[in-house]
Structure 1
Amino acid sequence: MVDSILKANRAYFDLDLLRALVMVADCGSFTAAAARLHSTQSTISQKLRRLEELAGHRLLDRGVRDVRPTDIGETVLGYARRMLSLNEQLGEVLSGSGAATVIRLGVPEDFAAGRTTRVLAEFSRLHTRVKLEVSSGLSRALAEGYERGELDLILVKQRRGSREAVACWPEPMCWVDSASSPAYALEPVPLVAFPPRGMYREDMIDAIEGLGRRWRISFTSSSLGGIQSAVCDGLGISLLPARAVSSGHVVLGADSGLPTIDGIELALLHRPSADPEAKALAALLIEMLAQDGAPG
């Protein structure tokens, strides 16, 4: 009799429901979680409602812009992660193979080679069961992908203090012209820029207009290499990170009248709930960036 009562009152938590909770908490939204789980938003919502019924508590605070776990939700999340991890470990033992942890890293194009790849290679040698998926692109696109839950760890350029980050570093900027075919004296001033909504574009336009000069966009590219080459070949001036200045450029100093742009920073972001391996990779990237503040 007692045994039957205990069985009737005992909640059995389906791993599928716990996985939905973890994904929503990590992504911060039902839409992103549904995409990650190859499901629909309504299905994820139903799973969360069922889990809350089983738990007898509200597990998530559903805000206007994001979804956050409640205090009891944080407790359930801790158990959910351990249960899912144990389930994966059991599967690995029974199958005789180890499933790799996947870390999806996003970096700007100018950080997709050089010292960054050497750090990633070092990390892979130390963490043989981790699979790295590295994407490069414009910082705005990387940040949007991170917010949608498509990336786990990102290094982006942003307005100083615009996002809370694990670590930040100032990004010194330089106005550059061609060393062989300077264009700054031309009217209107030709500008080599990233596409609309790209970093630095608005700064360039505001600065030129602030000098009372006319301007035109002479060349647009989403590639840093394309921007660098266009300036070298005399297509116009541009605003670039100091570490992106090449021998084919000349830096326009204070005598040009152009203002100093000092409101840009590099920011490294990951979620507090990130896997230990993702945090270990972040620590290596922080060490790399701290050495001189502007690696490439």
Structure 2
Amino acid sequence: MTEMPSSGRAPLPLLDTDVLRTFVAIAESGSFTRAARQVFRTPSALSMQIKRLEETLGQTLFVREARQVRLTPEGELLLGYGRRLLRLNEEAVTQFLAPSLEGRVSLGTTDDVGSRILPGVLAQFARSHPAVQVDVVVGGSRDMLVRLEAGELDLVLSTGGMHDPSAHVETVHSEPLVWAGREGGVAAQRSPLPVALANHGCPWRKLALDALDRAGLSYRIAYTCEHCAGQQAAMLADLAVAPFPLALIRQPLRRLDGDILPALGDYQVALVRRDGLGGAGEALAERVVEAFRDLRG
């Protein structure tokens, strides 16, 4: 029998899941002491783990400062890999050891929020819990919360503040809301200012109108639409400017300079669970929270 030629290269080292969990805990908490409490070890034990990890990879992963630690560029790169590896490990273990979940979960979301995280969330959830059916409903936050209160939805990703007091509310994301318009467009120079807004009840609408009123600017609501795609269409046609999440602005749209229009501040996304949510719903909620954590990282 002919032997296969050896490449002569030593096998690459394997990353230990326990060490990766420690690394991610330190990166997310910004402190060896806080991370030690999370993983139930001493700070000195964590320091030894990170030292071995840095030796294995031949890279410095943290910059240690007086009151906190922060990631080096190499550490930031490893953080993304670490989160994915831990998630994949959890999926594999869940597939074999965790009780099999079955049933149906309904999730309501606005289009701007859902489009960013749902593809990855649904793909991962389908791999780890193939027997659970997930129904996704897209609409305005106010309508989604009414349906959750009526028992028609299990989870809602909401950008509004009207929450059923019996529901569990968790803020999962925050980002700047800014004014946007078409690159090279003239809508921002028109008077009164033409504005494209979502329907009543949308927090973007309230933030924008309050800011314009405080600044004493003359404006007219040129377009009102249910979804942010309608705002995009008005901006692309250079017919209006609109309040828009900074992360969603793409060419040929651009952020308008802060000295032209008043600042809008940040807006938050909340995950709202109905009271008595079952195991399948809690598992999906956990995936959603992880997806937003990865988005921030």
- Both proteins in one fold, TM over 0.5: yes
CA gap 1:205/1:126 in 2 versus in 1, 3 angstroms: same
**Partner residue, 1:226:** 230
What is the aligned partner in structure 2 of residue 22 from structure 1?
none
Residue 284 of structure 1 aligns to which amino acid in structure 2?
R
Aligned mates of 1:166, 1:186 — CA distance in 2: 40
Distance 1:197 1:115, change over 3 A: closer
1:237-296: CA deviations, max 9, x gaps?
Answer: 11011122121222123212412322x2111121352111111111111111011239xx
Alpha-carbon distance, 1:180 to partner:
3.0
**Aligned-pair CA distance for 1:100:** 4.9
Question: Given that residues 180 and 233 in structure 1 are in contact (C-alpha distance below 8 angstroms), is that contact kept between their aligned partners in structure 2?
Answer: no
Q: Is the 8 A contact 2:155 2:273 kept in 1?
A: yes
- Partners of 1:132 and 1:230 in 2: CA distance: 33
Tell which deviates more after alignment, 156-165 or 284-293. 156-165
Partners of 1:169 and 1:113 in 2: CA distance? 14
Check 1:161–1:134 CA distance in 2 against 1; reply closer, same or farther (3 A cut): closer
With normalisation by structure 1, the TM-score equals 0.60
Give the Å deviation of 1:99. 11
Deviation for aligned residue 1:132: 0.9
1:181 is paired with a residue whose SS is: coil
Is the partner of 1:218 in helix, strand or coil? strand
* Distance in 1 of aligned mates of 2:215 and 2:276: 47
Closer, same or farther in 2 for the Cα pair 1:109/1:246, shift >3 Å?
A: same
Higher alpha-carbon deviation: 280-289 or 224-233: 224-233
SS for the counterpart of 2:160 is strand
* Corresponding residue of 2:281: 278
User: Distance between the aligned counterparts of 2:101 and 2:290, measured in 1?
Assistant: 28
Does 1:179 pair with 2:183? yes
**Once the 2 structures are TM-superposed, how far is the Cα of residue 189 of structure 1 from its aligned partner?**
0.6
Q: For residue 186 of structure 1, what is the amino acid of its counterpart? A: R
Equivalences for residues 11-22 of structure 1 within 5 A: none
- Equivalent in the alignment of 1:198: 202
1:161-203 per-position Cα deviation (integer Å, ceiling 9, x unaligned): 9975134321321111221323111111100111223331122
Paired residues in the alignment total 196
- Tell me the distance in 2 between the aligned counterparts of 1:288 and 1:99: 20
* 1:160/1:265 contact within 8 Å kept: no
Residue 216 of structure 1 deviates from its aligned partner by: 0.8
Letter of the structure 1 residue corresponding to residue 114 of structure 2: A
- What per-residue deviation string (whole Å, max 9, x for no partner) do you get for residues 63-100 of structure 1? xxxxxxxxxxxxxxxxxxxxxxxxxxxxxxxxxxx995
Counterpart mapping for 1:123-138 below 5 A: 123-138=125-140
Could you say which residue in structure 1 is the equivalent of 2:141?
139
Residues 178-233 of structure 1 show CA distances to partners (whole Å, capped at 9, x for unaligned) of 21323111111100111223331122222222222221111121121121121122
The CA deviation at 1:104 is: 0.7
Amino acid at match of 2:149: E
- Distance in 2 between the 1:137 and 1:271 partners? 17
In structure 2, relative to structure 1, the CA distance for the partners of 1:134 and 1:128 (3 Å cut) is: same
With the length of structure 2 as denominator, give the TM-score of the two structures: 0.60
Change (3 A) 1:229 1:290: same
* 1:63 match: none
Work out whether residues 188 and 215 of structure 1, in 8 Å CA contact, stay in contact via their aligned partners in 2. yes
Q: 2:269 — aligned with what?
A: 266
Distance 1:161 1:174 in 2: 25
What percentage of aligned pairs have identical amino acids?
A: 25
Structure 2 unmatched runs, 5+: 1-99
Structure 1: tracts of 5 or more residues without a match: 1-97
Q: 1:206 to 1:99 in 2, by over 3 A?
A: closer
Give the letter aligned to residue 115 of structure 2: A
Secondary structure in 1 matching 2:186: coil
